[in-house]
Chains A and B, each alone.
Chain A
Amino acid sequence: MRQKSKQLEYERLVLVYSDELLRYALWLCRDKNMAEDLVQETCMRAWKSLDKLRDTSSSKAWLMTILRNEHARQYVRYRPDMVDLDLDMLSLRDTDNDTSPDAFALKQALNELADEYKEPLLLQVIAGLSCEEIASVCGITKSATMTRLFRAKQKLRDVLRPEEDQVGK
């Protein structure tokens, strides 16, 4: 791939997907600075291996896979020491706008979800990946992805149900 084309393709990827990458990174790292570093490293790796991207229609899933692998490589071992619930909520409060009780409850429930359920959900909501793409990013089958998405959403809906019932009454 010629240098100019590579540069343009890289810019296109950064332009289109950087927001999604950062959002996903924020949920993985639960810290703004760490998330930005992770996205930066992901972009660096993407730049280095851009020649390996054969199918541009899967570039979003490709980038998410790089980010996920990079996170596993660099950050997972630091998490238990650096993140407790308070820090968690603090950093999340710092990064979004919805401060309603429902949103808070959802956020907390999302935080408490096991990673195996949370990851497919985040990839669907943040990156808009299909079940098949999520399966390839997470290295699981499509049916396992579907089951995990269903359970994750069901669990989160349950958090809101008591409120809905009260409103109904």
Chain B
Amino acid sequence: MKCDDFKFEYTVAPNEIGAEAQNHQLSCAECKSFVEQQGKFEQQLEGVINCTVRDDLRHSLRDHVIRHKPVFWGFPKVSIALAASLLMAVGIVSINQAPNQGSTQYSALPIDQLVVEHFEHDGITSTNVSHQLDPQQLAQVSKQFGVRVTLADDISFAEKCPIGDSYGLHMVYQYHDQPVTVIYMPEITLRGTLPFQYAGLHGWVKPLKNGSIAVLGGSTIEIPAEEFADEAIEWL
């Protein structure tokens, strides 16, 4: 590969360069220095383009939709009757056809991807808090999931969050003075422990008696061994 081709490929999308470009980068001193300069430029660009977004934006977006959802009884009754007839007709036809695919789209998303995707949303803000969470607050949130968290002294964050098509208990556990994210997902099950390492994160997801638990952190953070899952929570 020529240096100009490498520079083009790298400039266009640094995260999408192919194997040939990667090999070239390793062996070419000129391109190594180009990569360093380009990295600085990309950082600068990101700083200019990405601005701070107010915290309550997502809540206002949720509320906006809830406020504007059509009210069932707001429709004219004739329309409802017509729609009901049509649905019944469709239903009768469907009964005689092959069964549909059933499950919702996002349940097809791998569990580790769900967890990482959620982490990308509030992972940074949640891990910024380093002091112990009020034990009462923790007890209140965990009670909603029918569990008691046994590591209360080292939990700095706990919130009920949507994960996939259900909710999970998102916590941050201070492990060796480093923030480790722990997510208990009562409605998501899997057969065996699933280790993962991508998107700058590493961790594992382990099945529990009820649902599963994910433990993850940045690639440089030490995370607890799998046995941690058995000790972290108790069912009420």
Closest to A149 in B: B12
Q: For A130, give its contact among B16, B44, B64 (CB under 8 Å).
A: B16
Tell me the bound Cα distance from A45 to B122 in angstroms.
24
- The reply to whether A18 and B12 contact each other, CB–CB distance below 8 Å, is no
Given A22-B53, A56-B106: A146 in contact with B12 (beta carbons within 8 A): yes
Q: For A56, give its contact among B47, B61, B108, B120 (CB under 8 Å).
A: B108
Contacts of B161 in A (CB 8 A): 15
Closest to B108 in A: A56
Count chain B residues whose beta carbon lies closer than 8 angstroms to a beta carbon of A: 42
Measured CB to CB, the closest approach of chain A to B41, in angstroms, equals 6
Contact with B along A3-33 (1 / 0, CB 8 A): 0010011111011101100110011000000
| Contact of A97 with B by CB under 8 A | yes
| Contact of A96 with B by CB under 8 A | yes
Interface extent on A, as a size class?
35 or more
Tell me the bound Cα distance from A11 to B117 in angstroms.
13
Q: For B44, give its contact among A39, A53, A146, A160 (CB under 8 Å).
A: A160
Tell me the bound Cα distance from A153 to B16 in angstroms.
16
Closest to A97 in B: B52
- The reply to whether A8 and B165 contact each other, CB–CB distance below 8 Å, is yes
Tell me the bound Cα distance from A124 to B49 in angstroms.
11
Measured CB to CB, the closest approach of chain B to A137, in angstroms, equals 15
Majority SS at the chain A contact face? helix
Q: For A57, give its contact among B45, B104, B109, B164 (CB under 8 Å).
A: B109
Q: For B57, give its contact among A22, A102, A130 (CB under 8 Å).
A: A22
Contact with B along A87-127 (1 / 0, CB 8 A): 00000100111100011001100100000000001101110
Measured CB to CB, the closest approach of chain B to A95, in angstroms, equals 4
Contacts of A12 in B (CB 8 A): 106, 162-164
- The reply to whether B106 and A1 contact each other, CB–CB distance below 8 Å, is no
| Contact of B58 with A by CB under 8 A | yes
Measured CB to CB, the closest approach of chain B to A56, in angstroms, equals 5
- The reply to whether B44 and A102 contact each other, CB–CB distance below 8 Å, is yes
Tell me the bound Cα distance from A18 to B50 in angstroms.
13
| Contact of B68 with A by CB under 8 A | yes
Tell me the bound Cα distance from A15 to B123 in angstroms.
12
Contact with A along B145-163 (1 / 0, CB 8 A): 0000000000000000111
| Contact of A136 with B by CB under 8 A | no
- The reply to whether B11 and A150 contact each other, CB–CB distance below 8 Å, is yes
Q: Which 6 A-B pairs have the closest CB atoms?
A: A96-B51, A95-B51, A19-B53, A18-B58, A146-B12, A56-B106
Name B residues whose Cβ lies closer than 8 Å to a Cβ of A.
8, 11-13, 16, 41, 44-53, 57-58, 60-62, 64-65, 68-69, 104-106, 108-109, 117-118, 120-122, 161-167
**A-B CB contact pairs (8 Å), 7 listed:** A8-B164, A18-B53, A19-B53, A47-B69, A55-B105, A102-B44, A130-B13
